[in-house]
Amino acid sequence: MTSSKSYSLLELSKLLETTLIGDGNAIVDNLKTIQDANDSSLSFVANQKYSKYLSSSKALAFIVHPNTIDGIDEGNYLVTDDPYLAFAKASSLFSSNLIKQNIGSVHPTATVFPETNLGKNVVIGPNVYIGPNCSIGDFSSIRANSSLVSDVQVGSNTHVHNGAVLGSDGFGYAPSKDGYIKIEQLGSLIIGSDVEIGAGCTIDRGALGDTHINDGVKLDNQVHIAHNVELGSHSAIAACCAIAGSTVIGKNFKMGGLSGVLGHLNIADNVTVGAHTLITKSIKESGEYIGIMPAQKPKDWAKSSIFIKRRK
Amino acid sequence: MTSSKSYSLLELSKLLETTLIGDGNAIVDNLKTIQDANDSSLSFVANQKYSKYLSSSKALAFIVHPNTIDGIDEGNYLVTDDPYLAFAKASSLFSSNLIKQNIGSVHPTATVFPETNLGKNVVIGPNVYIGPNCSIGDFSSIRANSSLVSDVQVGSNTHVHNGAVLGSDGFGYAPSKDGYIKIEQLGSLIIGSDVEIGAGCTIDRGALGDTHINDGVKLDNQVHIAHNVELGSHSAIAACCAIAGSTVIGKNFKMGGLSGVLGHLNIADNVTVGAHTLITKSIKESGEYIGIMPAQKPKDWAKSSIFIKRRK
Amino acid sequence: MTSSKSYSLLELSKLLETTLIGDGNAIVDNLKTIQDANDSSLSFVANQKYSKYLSSSKALAFIVHPNTIDGIDEGNYLVTDDPYLAFAKASSLFSSNLIKQNIGSVHPTATVFPETNLGKNVVIGPNVYIGPNCSIGDFSSIRANSSLVSDVQVGSNTHVHNGAVLGSDGFGYAPSKDGYIKIEQLGSLIIGSDVEIGAGCTIDRGALGDTHINDGVKLDNQVHIAHNVELGSHSAIAACCAIAGSTVIGKNFKMGGLSGVLGHLNIADNVTVGAHTLITKSIKESGEYIGIMPAQKPKDWAKSSIFIKRRK
């Protein structure tokens, strides 16, 4: 989104809680990578491997760590021990955040159950459906084409991106001689505050108890979370992952894309799972877990595959 | 969903076809797990490992197998050889099923082609789109924000959950010197009765012939089924699976989450595939198949990975 | 979709740029597989293994390679060196393409930002949401229940299928002592011409720079593409794949279903990745890559699994 906002470096140094080196009256009007910057850009070096571009970049000013400019005696800098965090805060200053512009509005094309408990300053987007027994906390948003099916509590400052389905029926059936008999899902989905639910995610409400997505959780797009899962606070899950029913996951869980956790497991705090990995057992010890089959040329893969299958 | 329904144990014993032991006049008004139950709860023991909670549970009554209460001479019980099935039936009695409340309605925000053949007592939810050449059987529902693109026949008692896309174009292109040339998809998608399609699923209609989802199939959320697949009756597929084009799958197929079946294969009846597993060849023999790469600590995984790749 | 269109073989031979053998006045009114054909069908043999059905097929005419009818001296044929391509072109002739019927229309239930740059002959379907700073090229379509969140440029002759979400927020957060701080996504999503985006796909706009989906790309359903990816022209990606942030992929990339590519990688032109495979490193050499864990019976898989884990 092209921003029309501009700031002096003096203003920015205060807003971003950084130390200014250089011209406080200089005006920046956009935020760019060090390679794409123009002569009115603010840029940043969060990873030392990009510091080599400092001298050739066109940016007017840079957010940097003190070490990055050690021995450099010209240019404009906003200096901080955590340049990436200062960059994140700067991104908000240059964003024309549509949600903030529409605060407090329910789009006329949304279908919202009359008893829904809508907090202050919520945004309900176009074509959203909100069913019975739902509540939305202050400053939260439900974006276009999402559904809150039934019995969903959303905390404050939580954002549900487009096309997500929350509070859907969990996948539960009892086998019988007449085929599967559906287990009606009587529980709720309880989502904390400061949560983001990516586009196209699906999170089922509980079967008898509840599904819990705790404070500060961030879900990328197309993540699926089954009924009665508890996902610990400040967890971050990449795209296209799935967590099966009744699994309880601790705080600060991280998972790469296309990965999964089987049902009815317990996962400790501070566990990190690689991409394209399946967790099949409970994990008591924090740390990293990975189970990627290495990709090879077809001939080599065929040999590895036969070798793996022969181990009997 | 909190239910306001209440039943005497005598009523329940008849409705659930169970044998009553205890006070037939006692009234239960909710269904809970054995650990979460309160003093007006009906609960159940379907798995013997939970029977240890029987004595400490606050529930007023329990659905149990006769063996579970062997030697116990107090309390209220609904006794049956299949407690899980009786629990499933009980869940329906305590559900305030919104679909049943809206039976026979097309939501005013839905866009339905005028020639659509709508059966009796169907429910078409908010923002649903139903395109040309579709029919919906009796007592079926299409939930909010779903699309039936074109040429979709839905049987009776079938439920399509939110955000699903049925009858979409199959993925078919002919390579040419000018890039891929689209193969227009001229077939249909035919879905049987007593089927559930989870939230966010996508099922393509056929290219020339038809895609078939047979009676009693249950799909969890975010499952993808490609054009010209035939999925046998009473199959159950967990979240985030994909079945590629023209594969024919027998009855009672089961598949764990994040798994797939390649295209143009034949899979026998009564095959069960583990989670995060890919089936690359036709299967003639019923039974279980699994292909999960074990998850390990990074150091151990790296060694395994190098070892696998050295087999040449 | 049942077509009411009919063509003489003479007409077809011209439209499909094929050589007619047989009765140019014969009329076909449908396109079917060689096994399902009826006596007014056009059919085709694109794969020699189906030529055995030629003599028993009821079709009135066949699209064939010259070799297929070598020595056959009766029947009606449209002869070409590329029967599959001629079949693809024929599919278009028999399609009652709804999009073509609705050309130039914005459905009244769509919510489109007033400044949106709509090209000529675009189709915007029911319940579509188009946010700020978007443009749609000539003859492109956005199908029902899709969202273009913000800053999305769509080329011409490009089709976005149902329930897709384009231009969503990329997954970017800076860790802080107060939890994750969101990095506002300031870039765009730029989609070329002759692109198809499958049902339920999600493609994020760029964080600072842009996400690029180049000309002629075809995405199957439920594909996820993260922020700042560049996907080379004429790439084709099967269902349920994910490409992580900032990865740059060359031309003619192909990927089977349920596969992924990690972030910040460079992938050469003409790379093909198998199904259910994760690419973890940059690829400089064109060709095929595959990393599927073989599926086995549980007993054999358990042995392989233990064997893999013992390599330390």
Half-sphere exposure of B266 (CA within 13 A, CB side): 3
**CB A162 to CB C290 under 8 A?**
no
Note the pLDDT of residue B152: 98
Within 8 A of C28 by CB-CB distance, chain B residues are: none
Q: Which chains have 3+ CB pairs within 8 A of C?
A: A, B
Q: Which chains have 3+ CB pairs within 8 A of B?
A: A, C
Percentage with pLDDT > 90 across chain C: 91
For A291, the closest chain B residue by CA position comes to B295
**CB C288 to CB A296 under 8 A?**
no
Note the pLDDT of residue B2: 47
Within 8 A of B169 by CB-CB distance, chain C residues are: 161, 196, 198
Name the residue among B186, B200, B279 with its Cβ closest to that of C31: B186
How far from chain centre, in Å, is Cα B232? Answer: 14
**CB A290 to CB B275 under 8 A?**
no
Q: How many CB pairs under 8 A join B and C?
A: 215
Short-list C275, B123, B92, CA closest to A301 = C275
A88 touches chain B (CB under 8 A): no
Task: Give Cα separations from A282 to A161, A203, A263, A264 (angstroms).
Answer: 31, 21, 10, 8
pLDDT in tens, A96-112: 877 777 777 999 999 99
C49 touches chain B (CB under 8 A): no
Note the pLDDT of residue B29: 96
Short-list C140, C153, C152, CA closest to C99 = C140
Task: Give Cα separations from C175 to A75, A222, A297, C181 (angstroms).
Answer: 28, 22, 38, 6
> CA of A184 to nearest chain B CA: how many angstroms apart?
5
Within the 89-118 window of chain A, which residues sit less than 8 Å (CB to CB) from chain C? 89, 91-92, 94-98, 107, 109
Percentage with pLDDT > 90 across chain A: 91
- Give me the mean pLDDT over the A62-66 stretch: 97
**CB B180 to CB C301 under 8 A?**
no
Rounded CA-CA distance B258/C8 in Å is 48
SS (H, E, C) C263-311: CCCEECCCEEECCCCEECCCECCCEEEECCCCCECHHHHHHHHHHHHHC
B216 touches chain A (CB under 8 A): yes
Torsion, CA C65, CA C66, CA C71, CA C73, rounded to 10: 90
Residue A227 catalytic? yes
Rounded CA-CA distance A127/A109 in Å is 5
Which secondary-structure segment (H or E) carries C61?
strand C61-64
- Mutation for testing the A interface, residue in C165, C185, C230 having most A CBs under 10 Å: C165
> CA of B253 to nearest chain A CA: how many angstroms apart?
13
> CA of C69 to nearest chain A CA: how many angstroms apart?
35
What residues are paired with B267 via a beta bridge?
B249, B283
Rounded CA-CA distance A184/A179 in Å is 16
For A153, the closest chain B residue by CA position comes to B1
ipTM, 2 decimals? 0.96
Residues of chain B with pLDDT under 50: 1-3
Name the residue among C202, C278, C294 with its Cβ closest to that of A221: C202
> CA of C23 to nearest chain A CA: how many angstroms apart?
47
* pLDDT band at residue A1 using 50, 70 and 90 as cut-offs: very low
**CB A1 to CB C132 under 8 A?**
yes
Note the pLDDT of residue B1: 43
pLDDT in tens, C8-41: 999 999 999 999 999 999 999 999 999 999 999 9
For B299, the closest chain C residue by CA position comes to C312
Note the pLDDT of residue C311: 67
What residues are paired with C255 via a beta bridge?
C237, C273
Note the pLDDT of residue B50: 87
pLDDT in tens, C29-88: 999 999 999 999 999 999 888 889 999 999 999 999 999 999 898 999 999 999 999 999
Active-site choice (B65, B107, B227, B234): B227
Do strands B7-8 and B27-28 pair parallel, antiparallel, or not at all (unpaired)?
Answer: antiparallel
Q: Is the pLDDT of residue C127 over 80?
A: yes
Q: Is the pLDDT of residue C2 over 80?
A: no
Short-list A262, B301, B264, A203, CA closest to C305 = B301
C174 touches chain A (CB under 8 A): yes
Note the pLDDT of residue B48: 86
Domains and CATH numbers, chain A: 7-96 (3.40.1390.10), 100-289 (2.160.10.10)
To which residue do tokens 């924090």 refer? A286
Within 10 angstroms of residue C224's Cβ, the number of other Cβ atoms is 31
> CA of A155 to nearest chain B CA: how many angstroms apart?
18
Task: Give Cα separations from A212 to A203, A204, C234 (angstroms).
Answer: 10, 10, 42
Note the pLDDT of residue A102: 79
Within 8 A of B303 by CB-CB distance, chain C residues are: 311-312
**CB A242 to CB B234 under 8 A?**
no
> CA of C304 to nearest chain B CA: how many angstroms apart?
9
A288 touches chain B (CB under 8 A): yes
A173 touches chain B (CB under 8 A): yes
Find the largest Cα–Cα distance for chain A: 81
- Mutation for testing the C interface, residue in A107, A193, A217, A276 having most C CBs under 10 Å: A276
The amino acid at A287: G
Task: Give Cα separations from C197 to A126, B148, B150, C275 (angstroms).
Answer: 22, 17, 17, 19
Active-site choice (A159, A224, A227, A264): A227
C62 touches chain B (CB under 8 A): no
Rounded CA-CA distance C115/C122 in Å is 15
**CB C295 to CB B287 under 8 A?**
no
3-state SS class at B62:
strand
For C146, the closest chain B residue by CA position comes to B145
> CA of C133 to nearest chain B CA: how many angstroms apart?
24
C302 touches chain A (CB under 8 A): no
C208 touches chain A (CB under 8 A): yes
Phi and psi at residue A207, in whole multiples of 5°?
-75, -65
Give yes or no for a contact between C80 and C16, defined as CB atoms under 8 angstroms apart.
yes
Within the 142-161 window of chain C, which residues sit less than 8 Å (CB to CB) from chain A? 145-147, 149-151
**CB C200 to CB B200 under 8 A?**
yes
Give yes or no for a contact between A104 and A37, defined as CB atoms under 8 angstroms apart.
no
B259 phi-psi bin (left φ>0, alpha ψ -120 to 50, beta other): beta
Rounded CA-CA distance B264/C275 in Å is 14
For B240, the closest chain A residue by CA position comes to A242
CA C153, C154, C160, C162 torsion-angle sign: positive
For C164, the closest chain A residue by CA position comes to A163
* pLDDT band at residue C102 using 50, 70 and 90 as cut-offs: confident
Within 8 A of C237 by CB-CB distance, chain A residues are: none
Note the pLDDT of residue B102: 79
Note the pLDDT of residue B44: 97
3-state SS class at C76:
coil
Q: Is the pLDDT of residue C216 over 70?
A: yes
A145 phi-psi bin (left φ>0, alpha ψ -120 to 50, beta other): left
For C128, the closest chain B residue by CA position comes to B127
> CA of C187 to nearest chain B CA: how many angstroms apart?
27
The amino acid at B312: K
Q: How many CB pairs under 8 A join A and B?
A: 217
Within 8 A of C158 by CB-CB distance, chain B residues are: none
For chain A, give the DSSP string.
Answer: ------EEHHHHHHHTT-EEES-TT-EE-EE--TTT--TTEEEE--SGGGGGGTTT---SEEEE-GGGGTT--SS-EEE-S-HHHHHHHHHHHT---HHHHTTT-B-TT-EE-TT-EE-TT-EE-TT-EE-SS-EE-TT-EE-TT-EE-SSEEE-SS-EE-TT-EEEEPP--EEEETTEEEE------EEE-SS-EE-TT-EEEPPSSS-EEE-TT-EE-TT-EE-TT-EE-TT-EE-TT-EE-TT-EE-TT-EE-TT-EE-TT-EE-SSEEE-TT-EE-S-B-S-EEEB-PPPPB-HHHHHHHHHHHHH--
C169 touches chain A (CB under 8 A): yes
Q: Is the pLDDT of residue A158 over 90?
A: yes
* pLDDT band at residue A311 using 50, 70 and 90 as cut-offs: low
> CA of C138 to nearest chain A CA: how many angstroms apart?
23
- Mutation for testing the B interface, residue in A290, A303, A307, A309 having most B CBs under 10 Å: A290
Name the residue among C162, C275, C309 with its Cβ closest to that of B296: C309
Phi and psi at residue C248, in whole multiples of 5°?
-115, 120
pLDDT in tens, C257-299: 999 999 999 999 999 999 999 999 999 999 999 999 999 999 9
To which residue do tokens 């039934």 refer? A150
